[in-house]
Amino acid sequence: MRLMTGILLALLAAVSWGSIVFVSNKLGGDEDSQTIGTTGGALIFALAVFFYKSPDMPTIVWVVGFISGLFWSLGQKNQFGAVRYLGVAKTAPMSTGLQLIGTTFFGVFIFKEWQTKMNYIVGISALVLIIAGALLTSLKQGGEKGEAKSLKKGLLVLLISTVGFVGYVVLIRWFNIDGWAAILPQAIGMATGAFLLTFRDKPFNKYAVRNILTGIIWSTGNLGLLLALPRIGVATSFSLSQTGIVISTIGGLFFLNERKSKKQVWRVLLGCVLIIAGGVLLGVTKR
C-alpha cells in the first residue's frame, strides 16, 4: 500500500508538471503574465500548506528557500518564453532533457552520487538517450524558413531556463532543507523574482489572473513529489515525475496543432520516449 501510494503521488507530480506549459498556453498571455500568475497561484497554495502543516522555520530555511524561489522564477519565465520560438511540443521535452543533464552533473561531481563503475555505465547510457531525445525533438522540418533562427533563440532561452531550474533544485539539496519547510520561502522568492523580471512589461492583466490556476497545478505536483519521496525514494519518484513531458508534447502536437508533418510528429514522440528512458536510467543510478 505504501509503495502504491508513493507511485500515485509521483504520477500526480508528473501529470501536474507535465500540464503546466500546455495549460498556460491555453489560458493565454505572454511569458510575463504567465509567470506572474503562476507564482501567484504557488504563493496562495504555499500559504494554505504552511498554516496547515506549521513546519519548523529557522533562518537558513527562509534564506535558502527564498533564493531557490528566485532561481525558479528565472527558470519558469524563460521556459514560457521558449514556447514563443519552439512551441510547446519542442519546449517540454528539450527543457526536461536539459534539466536532467544539469541535475545529473551536480549529482555526480558535487554530491558524488555515482559510486560504482556500473553507476557510470548506466548513467552515461542515460545521458546519451537524453541527448539523442533532445536532438530528435529539435530537428527542423526541411524547407521551413526561419526555423533555424527560431531554434537558436529558443535554445538560448532554454539554457537560461535550465540554469534557473537546476539552481532551484540544487540549493535545496545542498543545504538539506526539508521540503515541507521550503514551500513558503520558495513561493515568496518565486513571486519576488517574477515581479522583478516582469514588472517593466506590465504583466498584471486578465491573463495573469487566469494563470493563477497554473501555479496551483504546479504546487500540487510539487507537494505530490515531496510526499512521494519518503515512500519510494528520490530515484523512483524523480524519474516518474519526469514522464509528464508526454502530456505537454501530446498537447502541443494534437490540441495546439503545432505540427503538420507526420515525420516531425514521430520524431518528437520518439524523442520523448528516449528522454523518459534516460530519466528512468538516471533514477536507477541513484538507488
pLDDT in tens, 239-249: 677 778 878 88
* CA 138 vs CA 85, 143, 265, 272: distances in Å: 11, 15, 11, 11
The pLDDT-based confidence of 38 (bands split at 50, 70, 90) is very high
- Region 17-30: mean pLDDT is 89
The confidence score (pLDDT) of residue 22 equals 82
Which residue range forms the structural domain that includes residue 48? 2-285
The confidence score (pLDDT) of residue 265 equals 84
Q: Pick from 96-100, 136-140, 169-173, 209-213 the range whose average pLDDT is largest.
A: 209-213
Which range (38-47, 61-70, 162-171, 277-286) has the least confidence?
277-286
| Maximum pairwise Cα distance, the chain | 58
User: pLDDT tens across 190-238, in order?
Assistant: 999 999 999 988 899 999 999 999 999 999 998 888 788 777 765 567 6
| Structure-block grid coordinates of residue 81 | 518564453
> How many structural domains does the chain have?
1
Q: Which residue in 213, 241, 211 sits closest to 226, CA to CA?
A: 241
Q: Which residue in 77, 281, 100, 113 sits closest to 199, CA to CA?
A: 77
What is the distance between the alpha carbons of residues 164 and 160, in angstroms, rounded to a whole number?
Answer: 7
Name 90's Cβ contacts closer than 8 Å, sequence gap at least 6: 137, 138, 154, 252, 258, 268
| Structure-block grid coordinates of residue 39 | 507564482
The confidence score (pLDDT) of residue 35 equals 95
The pLDDT-based confidence of 260 (bands split at 50, 70, 90) is low
Q: Which residue in 178, 203, 156, 180 sits closest to 38, CA to CA?
A: 203
